[in-house]
Amino acid sequence: MNLLPFGKLAPHRPRTFVPQSLDLGDWSHIKSQFDELERRAPQIKSAPELEKWLLDWSELSAALDEESSRRYIAMTCHTDNADAEKAYLHFVEHVEPQLKPRQFALEQIYVAHPQTPHLPAARFEVFNRDVKNHVALFRPENVALETEDAKLCQQYQKLIGAQTVTFRGEEKTLIQMGRYLEEPDRALRQEAWELVAQRRLQDVEKCEEIFDELVRLRAQIAKNAGFENYRDFMFRKMGRFDYTPGDCEKFHDAIEKEIMPAVREIQTDRQRQLKLEKLRPWDLAVDPHNRAPLKPFAEVSEMVARTQKIFNQLDAELASGFRQMQDLKLLDLDNRKGKAPGGYQSTLSEARVPFIFMNAIGVQRDVETILHEAGHAFHAQATRDEDLYAYRGAPIEFCEVASMSMELLGNEFLEEFYSTAEANRARKTHLEGIIGFFPWMAVVDGFQHWIHTHAGHTRAERKTAYLELMDRFGGDVDWSGYEEVRAHSWHRQLHIFLYPFYYVEYGIAQLGALQVWANSRRDKVKALADYKKSLKLGGSRPLPELFSAAGCKFQFDAATIKPLIQLARTELKKL
Ligand SMILES: [Zn+2]
């Protein structure tokens, strides 16, 4: 039984290294390929030979990546199928742990190889920088600490995952409770919000304990790697060669100066429309005019057809890319029983085609998601002819430019789904969401900068630091009576626990997307041509060059932000 939505997909390039018969789910088979690459390395006597070796390694990595993706896709499309689950778990438990040290060994061989300096410098600049960085940061004594870190993260996930409340006689997860914040009945919203807040407060102590331990561990990991603090270590580990902690701090300041006035204006409008004295934390998600939710489509086939029409109007090449995904059945979009929740875009790395997974139910959020994931898919299609596996993926700061730009560019044609009035309502919500994201990003990022440069801080000091950020970026929301809830509201932001420092990327990318959008207002044809050109670069160039190819500045200062927010505010006034 084929559990994949798509049929047989041929590799984009015929294999020249990995045998066709190789069982990619069997470690003993895979191992022989790594052995072979290790065996060959010392015999390589020229740069072209080394390049061929890299391409063979790329072929193996892509084949393994596709195997992993196929098993993941089959499992998420059929959560009720025991074979799919078994196949996926087998790969995660018996292949991946073996894979990592062998990939790392090849990286070490490559970095030390006498032919590496003779490879074409510009072509390998980014690859060499990343591989050298990865090898240089490795410390054997950190392996055990990282395992401990992962265990603490798991404890946090378990703690948060177990949080439920009883609402009107029914047990509900806190995520399920989210929809009551959109209810027009204010008393009901408050009741739901308070219930969730009280439940979270019960775990404050445990969250703080886990976090204290994480901070201590992470400081030690950084020290072992020769860094003064965990922030500086993480900037290097995440390959942030093109921006500094100082740039991020400047970003926070610019958000305070240029974006907070827009946030306050949106909040004041909301408060007036809802006819309230003050905005309380439970007044932020409801439609300010008490309208019923938008209904963009009834059937998923309708969503796909209308999205296709949006791309037809936007660009012929992108339109044919989306058409191809339908022809090859690379979309699994409907919500049905036996499907994992959420949405993602995955790439089948050998066939070099994208796949989109979603659980569409007929709300505006689905339209945003399909445009977003299609942007990622266009990125994968654009890099098809790149043979170095590592360069077919870009840094996340730019991947999200590809997807977030597509939300903004596609929004121009929302009339495919709605009347003009409804389309404008969707555009307004979207733009307000973009503006409102920046301050929270600044809180999450700024807080982590503080935490990991103040090792040995007390819980009281941490609280003060967080509240200072909330005062700067919280806007005009009245939390009185809920001071403790506010002071610990970061506990629910899982990135702070699980993916430290991974958050500012979304802010950086959103600035890129807003610039692509601003460019398209001036010259639509050129903006799209630049967008497509930048996608084609994949990860082969550093971030500032990717941004510049897309027609954007790689800067997060007030001068860059000011005109973008002005455009968004002008646009909002028209809606
Ligand atoms: Zn994305």
Q: What does the DSSP assignment read for 484-512?
A: HHHHTGGGG-HHHHHSTTTTHHHHHHHHH
Q: How far away, in angstroms, is 57 Cα from ligand 1 center?
A: 27
Q: How far away, in angstroms, is 367 Cα from ligand 1 center?
A: 14
Please report the pLDDT score of residue 421 as a whole number: 97
CA-closest candidate to residue 211, choices 160, 161, 261, 248: 160
Mean pLDDT of 160-188: 92
φ, ψ of residue 10 in degrees (nearest 5): -75, 150
Q: Using CA atoms, how far apart are residues 400 and 406, in angstroms rounded to an integer?
A: 10
Asked if 75 and 87 count as a contact pair (C-beta separation under 8 A), the reply is: yes
Q: How far away, in angstroms, is 501 Cα from ligand 1 center?
A: 17
Q: How far away, in angstroms, is 437 Cα from ligand 1 center?
A: 15
Q: How far away, in angstroms, is 430 Cα from ligand 1 center?
A: 15
Q: Using CA atoms, how far apart are residues 473 and 148, in angstroms rounded to an integer?
A: 33
Helix (H) / strand (E) containing 29: helix 27-40
Mean pLDDT of 348-357: 98
Q: How far away, in angstroms, is 222 Cα from ligand 1 center?
A: 29
Mean pLDDT of 434-451: 98
Q: How far away, in angstroms, is 355 Cα from ligand 1 center?
A: 13
Retrieve residue 445's tokens: 């990022």
Identify the burial level of 420 via C-beta atoms within 10 angstroms of its C-beta, where 0-12 means exposed, 13-18 middle and 19 or more buried.
exposed
Asked if 213 and 156 count as a contact pair (C-beta separation under 8 A), the reply is: no
Q: How far away, in angstroms, is 461 Cα from ligand 1 center?
A: 35
pLDDT for residue 385 is more than 90? yes
Of 158-162, 377-381, 556-560, the range with the lowest mean pLDDT is 158-162
Q: How far away, in angstroms, is 187 Cα from ligand 1 center?
A: 35
Mean pLDDT of 459-482: 97
Q: How far away, in angstroms, is 403 Cα from ligand 1 center?
A: 6
Q: How far away, in angstroms, is 407 Cα from ligand 1 center?
A: 10
What is the 3-class SS of 210-229, one letter each residue?
HHHHHHHHHHHHHHHCCCCC
Asked if 155 and 494 count as a contact pair (C-beta separation under 8 A), the reply is: no
CA-closest candidate to residue 409, choices 325, 321, 531, 556: 531
What is the 3-class SS of 37-66, one letter each residue?
HHHHHHHCCCHHHHHHHHHHHHHHHHHHHH
Q: How far away, in angstroms, is 514 Cα from ligand 1 center?
A: 15
Q: How far away, in angstroms, is 369 Cα from ligand 1 center?
A: 9
Q: How far away, in angstroms, is 126 Cα from ligand 1 center?
A: 22
pLDDT for residue 342 is more than 90? no
Q: How far away, in angstroms, is 401 Cα from ligand 1 center?
A: 9
Q: How far away, in angstroms, is 141 Cα from ligand 1 center?
A: 34
Identity of the amino acid at 46: S
Q: Using CA atoms, how far apart are residues 319 and 23, in angstroms rounded to an integer?
A: 36
Q: How far away, in angstroms, is 504 Cα from ligand 1 center?
A: 14
Average pLDDT across the chain, whole number: 96
Q: Using CA atoms, how far apart are residues 570 and 262, in angstroms rounded to an integer?
A: 11
Q: Using CA atoms, how far apart are residues 303 and 416, in angstroms rounded to an integer?
A: 10
Q: How far away, in angstroms, is 360 Cα from ligand 1 center?
A: 16
Q: How far away, in angstroms, is 432 Cα from ligand 1 center?
A: 18
pLDDT for residue 45 is more than 70? yes
The confidence band for 309, taking pLDDT boundaries of 50, 70 and 90, is: very high
Q: Tell me the pLDDT tens digit for each residue of 250-300.
A: 999 999 999 999 999 999 999 999 999 999 999 999 999 989 889 999 999
Q: How far away, in angstroms, is 373 Cα from ligand 1 center?
A: 6
Q: Using CA atoms, how far apart are residues 167 and 191, in angstroms rounded to an integer?
A: 9
Q: How far away, in angstroms, is 344 Cα from ligand 1 center?
A: 8
Q: How many residues does the chain have?
A: 575
Residue that the structure tokens 């082969």 belong to: 540
CA-closest candidate to residue 340, choices 326, 315, 357, 323: 357
Q: How far away, in angstroms, is 372 Cα from ligand 1 center?
A: 6
Q: Using CA atoms, how far apart are residues 407 and 517, in angstroms rounded to an integer?
A: 10
Q: Collapsing DSSP states into helix, strand and coil, what is residue 277?
A: coil
Retrieve residue 411's tokens: 């929004």
Q: How far away, in angstroms, is 508 Cα from ligand 1 center?
A: 13
Mean pLDDT of 537-542: 98
The runs of H, that is alpha helices, within 138-244 are: 140-161, 174-177, 186-202, 204-224, 230-237
Q: How many CB atoms lie within 10 A of CB 340?
A: 14
Please report the pLDDT score of residue 1 as a whole number: 65
Asked if 522 and 369 count as a contact pair (C-beta separation under 8 A), the reply is: no
- Tell which wins on pLDDT, 143 or 478: 478
Q: How far away, in angstroms, is 357 Cα from ligand 1 center?
A: 12
Please calculate the CA angle 78-406-254 and round it to the nearest 5 degrees.
115
Q: Tell me the pLDDT tens digit for each residue of 478-493.
A: 999 999 999 999 999 9
Q: Using CA atoms, how far apart are residues 331 and 328, in angstroms rounded to an integer?
A: 8
pLDDT for residue 2 is more than 90? no
| DSSP code string of 381-421 | HHTTT--SGGGGS--HHHHHHHHHHHHHHHHTTGGGTS-HH
**Parallel, antiparallel, or unpaired: how do β-strands 164-167 and 170-173 relate?**
antiparallel
Q: How far away, in angstroms, is 505 Cα from ligand 1 center?
A: 11
What is the 3-class SS of 283-313, one letter each residue?
HCCCCCCCCCCCCCCCCHHHHHHHHHHHHHH
Those residues whose C-beta lies under 8 Å from the C-beta of residue 281, and which sit 6 or more positions away, are 193, 197, 477, 479, 482, 485
pLDDT for residue 525 is more than 70? yes
Q: How far away, in angstroms, is 503 Cα from ligand 1 center?
A: 12
Asked if 5 and 346 count as a contact pair (C-beta separation under 8 A), the reply is: no
Q: How far away, in angstroms, is 565 Cα from ligand 1 center?
A: 22
User: Hey, CA dihedral for 522, 525, 526, 527, is it positive or negative?
Assistant: positive
Please report the pLDDT score of residue 527 as a whole number: 98
Q: Tell me the pLDDT tens digit for each residue of 113-127.
A: 999 999 999 999 999
Instruction: Name the percent of the chain in helix, strand, coil, to the closest 5.
Output: 70, 5, 25
Q: Collapsing DSSP states into helix, strand and coil, what is residue 165?
A: strand
Please report the pLDDT score of residue 571 as a whole number: 96
Query: First CA to last CA across the chain, in angstroms?
Result: 50
Please report the pLDDT score of residue 179 as a whole number: 87
- Tell which wins on pLDDT, 257 or 337: 257
CA-closest candidate to residue 494, choices 163, 35, 100, 98: 163
